[in-house]
Amino acid sequence: MKEIDEVKQILNNIYGDKKGKSAFERILPIIQSFDKKAGEKKEYFSQEDIILITYGDSLNQNGICPLNTLHQFAVKYFKNTFSTIHILPFFPFSSDDGFSVIDFSKVDPLLGTWGDINAFRSDFRLMFDYVLNHVSAKSQWFENYLEEKDPEKHLAIEANPAADLSDVTRPRALPLLTEYTKKSGNKVHVWTTFSADQIDLNFKSLAVLEKMISVLLYYVEQGATILRLDAIAYLWKEIGTSCIHLPQTHMMVKLFRKILDIVAPSVLILTETNVPHEENISYFGNGRDEAQMVYNFTLPPLLFYTFVKQNSNVLFDWAKSLEISSKSNTFFNFTASHDGIGVRPLEGVLPRSEIATLAEMVRKNEGNVSYKRNPDGTQSPYELNITYIDAMEDKRDADKKNHIKRFLACQAIQYVLPGVPATYIHSILGSRNWTAGVRQTKRYRTINREKLQIDTLLPQLKYPGTFRSQIFYPYLDMIKIRKNQPAFHPKAGFKVLDINSKVFGILRFCDDQQVYSVTNISSEPVTVSLPEKAVPSFLTDLITGERFNTQLLNLTPYQYVWLSSPVM
């Protein structure tokens, strides 16, 4: 079988012929024993693909497990809106709100069971986190490593603290190495990219490779249709290099893709690489051999910047780069997630002084700024920790209604860009900064991870005058309208429109439809005309049903229109 031979070749490329042969002999039985349940490969994307991001316990109710509460709420409000739910790591964990996994094969009993996870499958597709860079220091795997037991004897990456590690790219300001003592009494320093509790896995060990391939296919068996490769960029380490995006890392992504192409061709890979745009899209590979989707990490901070400056020029220039030649690839478009707003993707897009402006705005809006350590020992902003809703607040604006309009306007831009859109649950629920949570945990990221009580939430959604309600229902309506437009297919054509620095305009088009999306990103009314020569004089807005003069288009502050034109 050609694809099996390609797996063998990839392993040889990673490990060399001799070790690659051993790796192949270890993982081939895993592949062959897999029950191919995922069906034939479908068209990867459609305009109906819209993803909700949530923790398993974002919603809570007394006496009911959180996963069940989430499912009930999702069925009631999201069944005809979101196609897929990304339930953030729901495994037993010791820190980092799930990303320090104790056991990859179990569901955290505080959330529910595998039965509760599987219950979602009758109503939604599912996205799982494949946390493959590290494992919890409280895991049995790491305990076995410290006891020098097989097969985990070489689980961790040991390094000499005297070695020159100055070239290593650091996503945190924490120490790279952490000292542990083995049962024998030997002290070792192991690689911990993200925290002392998150032990980086040593993929040079074939035992680690075998274990993690088994985890990959177990998640497919449990119904995952998208696998999010968490922190994939840091997977392979070689002292003397940056230890990010190494060739072996890309080959590992190719290995996962090839295995899935064999056993579950409809399951997609999404790479999570919070880095500048060109580095990020390198995980598309040649368009067919790595990830089908990558996070569009430049979008959240750049969209924030656009509304802070009330100027679309930089966004206009950047959006033109979103063209992807392969029909097998697309962007995962988002503004908010469980993490903060990463600013590394702005490198090469904005000068440092402008990034500092964003950091200052975040502090004014009661958020925080996280820093990373640079090779020269200095620190620079890495992440802005704030809800995206509160990032969009302009405290100089006396009209609080504009806050809601501004937030919905930025979401409307996200939803018209080429790619698959995703919304974090706290964005659609209108959640504000959870500063009390930050005081409790002493962790900045907690600000956007509030655990809501259903009995408190539902009345706030019910009454039209509440802040949550004024975001929730217009947002739902926008998504429902969007998913029915063929011009918003992720692979439909697009052209960024050069209109006015106070607006952002983009034309989306396919054989059956054209949609002119125009958003006023400023606090002032604007009047513009669509620059296209063949545009009709009047078009209807998909959002409101109102007809607009395309040559004298009057937009109120933060108004957005989706002007539809059938192709003749």
Task: Give the CATH class of 493-566.
Answer: mainly beta
Asked if residue 161 has a cis previous peptide bond (ω within 30° of 0), the answer is no
Percent of residues, the chain, with pLDDT higher than 90? 90
Taking only the tens place, the pLDDT of each residue in 52-90 is 999 999 999 999 999 999 999 999 999 989 999 999 999
CA separation for the pair 10, 32 (Å, rounded): 17
The DSSP output letter for 174 is S
Range 452-463 average pLDDT: 97
Q: Enumerate the domain spans of the chain.
A: 51-132+206-488, 493-566
pTM of the model: 0.96
Domain 51-132+206-488 has CATH 3.30.470.20: no
Q: Looking at the predicted structure, is the pLDDT value of residue 149 above 90?
A: yes
pLDDT per residue as tens digits for the range 215-242: 999 999 999 999 999 999 999 999 999 9
Q: What is the pLDDT of residue 37?
A: 54
How far is it, in rounded angstroms, from Cα 441 to Cα 551?
A: 54
Give the residue carrying structure tokens 């997630």: 337
pLDDT level of residue 42 (50, 70, 90 thresholds): low
Show Cβ contacts of residue 332 under 8 Å, excluding neighbours closer than 6 positions.
51, 270, 293, 294, 295, 296, 419, 420, 422
Q: 535 and 497 in contact (C-beta within 8 Å)?
A: no
Q: Residue 492: its pLDDT value, please?
A: 95
Strand order in the sheet with 379-385: 341-342, 379-385, 368-373
| Averaged pLDDT for residues 134-150 | 98
For residue 132, what pLDDT is reported?
Answer: 97
The more confident residue out of 407 and 327 is 407
Catalytic member of 230, 289, 390, 541:
230
pLDDT of residue 505: 98
Reply yes or no on whether 394 is catalytic: no
546: left (phi over 0), alpha (psi -120 to 50) or beta: beta
The set of residues, in sequence order, having a beta carbon less than 8 Å from that of 458 and lying 6+ positions away, is none
pLDDT of 30 over the 70 cut: yes
Flag whether pLDDT at 40 surpasses 70. no
Tell me: pLDDT of 253 over 50.
Answer: yes
The three-point CA angle 351-354-356 to 5° equals: 110
Distance of CA 92 to CAs 402, 436, 543, Å?
A: 42, 25, 43
Local confidence band at 38 (pLDDT 50, 70, 90 cut-offs)? very low
Ramachandran region of residue 14, left (φ > 0), alpha (ψ -120 to 50) or beta? Answer: alpha
